[in-house]
Amino acid sequence: MMDDAELDLMNTEQDDPLLQTDEEEAVESMSNSGEPVIVRRKLNQTKFIIICIVVLFVLDFAAFFDLIPQTRIFELIVCRNYFDKHHPDRFPYPQDIPESECKTNTVQSQVAYIQAIGASFDALPTFMQASSYFFLMANWPTTLGAYWALFVCSFYRYVPLQAIWIGGFFALIGGGPGVTNAMVMTMISDVIDEANRSTVYFQTSLAAVVAQLLAPAIGSAMMMKLGPWVPYFFGTAFFTVCCLLILLVPETIPIQVLKPGAAHPTPSGFDHCSVRESLEARPPISRFSLASKMKTLFATAWKETKLIFSNRTVLLILSTFLLSTLGRKQVDLLLLYASTRYEITLSKAGFVHSFMACVSIVLLLLVLPLTSSYLSKTLKLPSSEKDLWLSKISIVLLTIGSFAIGFSPTFVSMICAVAIYTLGCGFNAVCLSLISAFVDPKYSARLYSVISLIIMMGTLIGGPLLAGLFNLGLNLGSSAWAGLPFFGSGVVHTFVLLSVWLIRLPSVQLE
């Protein structure tokens, strides 16, 4: 267990990287203090950005490459268990079951349920541990979870499919993808100046959508020719590659430099003799002292973050992250929805994700930059007001697109609805830029950690909620009711729209 000194050191290291240039100058001005000066590491920004983009690209590529074959394998396992139990004579093991026979409401409902609960289990450890672990460890749990899912699927005759939920608890080691994304955003904020930060955020978003474009298309094509198992093995291997790439990410924590003539301080500011004596004299930890430590830990965490929550506008924007994450979990159901309602194979439905990526690339490279340029240069809007208008436009598109997907009677009309929805997917990136204007830069790490936790909370709730609506829609009889989760998502996005319209910018920023 980590002692108090180590915990304090970790908290100090998480806060130190956020010192800004003016703060460094203030520290350097104290020439007679004899204290070490905290200075930023000299990093090649271009190389740093490229490494971060490559890491996020490979991570997203692995996730999307795995998605379609894993869904098909889940469907095969559930379908096999269903026929073995209810119709053992129709397709006796090991005879293959045609995919068309697996589109029953019972099978699809259970697949949606397993995936949704699995996503919640993945989010739960990240929600509990996101503020306590380092970036280097953040992606190993994802890799271990992927290998665990592969093991369960390979031995489904002996291990129940629900055992994949255990894989989410590997995130207790380092937090998983949520922590990876939060730490990358924090490191970018440490290295990149405010004027260029929004551009870098868009570049990381672009890396994700390029991965979303390539991975489903390649995975679907491989699945059509080789079946689901070969691409599933490849997708799991990509997670291992991502873990190795993380080792290339440079350190961004500032270093302490001694002033000429200053006494050399004890490393980490500790007197090792006094620490050893205090440890030897420390009484055994009782249940009550542990409870006291936990209470103190939560009190300290609240004290460090209450400044973020004290601003009404920040609270409104944070609520949009929660609600939009709830609504956007509908994308996880898109494969099953398209395959079930329009009676197409999962490999064909998988190309919907690639289509979404194409629209996202157009959005990030053309629509958002041109709209941003028009608002800032033609209409002369300040940066914060421009971001606010972009968020309003985005949430309107998300709301319309969600309802349209649910109402679409044909696959072609659903594709058009998906295009409308995807044009609003810059919402989170815009809100990330918008909320940064309301928070002191030295609290950026805490802000991004809070946002990461909120997104994880939305994932925790949104998956089972929308899966429940999907199951309810299937049980109502008509195939049109399969769009019920998208109606629910549209309602959630409507609440986000109302929250965005309530945001008011400070008059100082508008002048």
Which region holds residue 269: left if phi is over 0, alpha if psi is between -120 and 50, else beta? left
- Angle of helix 312-328 relative to helix 383-407, nearest 10 degrees, comes to 30
3-class SS at 39?
strand
Q: 256: which strand partners?
A: 38
Bridge partners of 39, per DSSP, are: 255
Q: What pLDDT is stored for residue 360 in this prediction? A: 84
Q: Contact at 8 Å (CB) between 200 and 188?
A: yes
pLDDT at residue 460, rounded to an integer: 81
Distance CA 38, CA 256 (A): 5
Q: How many Å apart are CA 120 and CA 123, to the nearest integer? A: 5
Task: Tokens 């209470």: give the residue.
Answer: 295
Backbone angles phi, psi at 255, to 5 degrees: -110, 155
**72 C-beta neighbours (distance < 10 Å), count:** 27
Nearest residue to 3 via CA among 282, 286, 266:
282
Q: Of 215, 225, 134, which is closest to residue 173 (Cα–Cα)?
A: 134
pTM beyond 0.75: the answer is no
Amino acid (1-letter code) at residue 469: L
Distance set, CA 383 to CA 177, 376, 479 (Å): 30, 7, 46
Buried b (16+ CB within 10 A) or exposed e, 250-264: eebebeeeeeeeeee
Cα 322 to its chain centre, rounded Å, is: 12
Q: Are 62 and 242 in contact (CB under 8 A)?
A: yes
Q: Which among 77, 104, 76, 64 is positioned nearest to 163, based on CA atoms?
A: 77
Structure tokens at 254: 């500032």
CA distance 182 to 201: 12
- Which CA distances in Å does 359 have to 321, 368, 415, 423, 483? 22, 12, 11, 7, 22
Amino acid identity, residue 124? Answer: L
On whether the CB atoms of residues 207 and 360 are closer than 8 A, the answer is: no
CA–CA gap between residue 184 and residue 200 (Å, rounded) = 11
- Distance, in Å, from the CA atom of 511 to the CA atom of 508, rounded to the nearest integer, reads 5
Q: How far apart are CA 91 and CA 82, in angstroms?
A: 11
Contact by Cβ (8 Å): 382, 444: no
Domains located in the chain, CATH noted: 45-253+302-505 (1.20.1250.20)
What pLDDT is attached to residue 419? 94
Distance CA 428, CA 418 (A): 17
Residue 38 CB-density burial (10 A; 0-12 exposed, 13-18 middle, 19+ buried): middle
Q: What is the dihedral of CA 369, 375, 380, 386, to 10 degrees?
A: -90
Residue with tokens 């400070």: 506
Nearest in space to 385 (alpha carbons), one of 497, 508, 498: 508
pLDDT recorded at residue 282: 46
Q: Tell me how far apart the alpha carbons of residues 452 and 458 are, in angstroms, rounded to a whole number.
A: 10
Residues in the chain: 511
d(CA 272, CA 276): 6
Closest CA to 486 of 431, 413, 432, 428: 413
Per-residue pLDDT of the chain (511 residues; tens, 9 = 90+): 344 433 333 333 344 443 344 444 444 444 444 555 555 566 677 888 888 888 888 888 888 888 889 999 999 999 999 998 888 888 888 788 888 888 888 898 899 989 888 888 777 665 555 444 444 455 555 677 788 888 998 888 888 988 988 877 776 665 556 566 667 777 777 777 766 776 777 778 778 878 888 998 898 889 988 889 999 999 888 888 877 777 777 766 656 555 555 555 444 444 444 444 444 444 554 555 556 656 675 666 666 667 677 778 888 888 888 888 887 778 888 988 998 898 888 888 888 988 988 998 888 788 888 998 898 888 888 888 888 999 999 999 999 999 999 999 999 999 999 999 999 988 888 888 888 778 777 777 778 778 878 887 888 888 888 889 999 998 887 778 889 999 999 999 999 999 899 888 776 444 4
CA–CA separation, 183 and 130 (whole Å)? 10
